[in-house]
Amino acid sequence: MIVYISTAAFLYYTIWVLIMPFVDNMNISQKLFLDREWAITIPVAVMLFGICLIGTFVSLLMIKSSKKKSDL
């Protein structure tokens, strides 16, 4: 199931970024996609959120590890 969702998201984004800039703005297929500015904004926001999650996880692990060492 997740493979299908990932494949669909990849194809949608690829078409959106690589093909749609060359399609006329009056074409009806342009209505299926967001504005081009979102093609950069959304992935950057997702990457920043992911980096924050990873940083939080690593920080919590380091704090937990230092507490265990100080208890010994």
Q: What pLDDT was estimated at residue 28?
A: 93
State the pLDDT at residue 69.
80
pLDDT tens digits, one per residue of 3-19: 999 999 999 999 999 99
> What's the CA angle centered on 19, arms 4 and 29, to 5 degrees?
80
* Residue 21: predicted pLDDT: 92
pLDDT digits (tens, 9 = 90+) for 11-67: 999 999 999 999 999 999 999 999 989 999 999 999 999 999 999 999 999 999 988
Answer yes or no: are the C-beta atoms of 30 and 20 closer than 8 Å: yes
Is the pLDDT score of 72 beyond 70? Answer: no
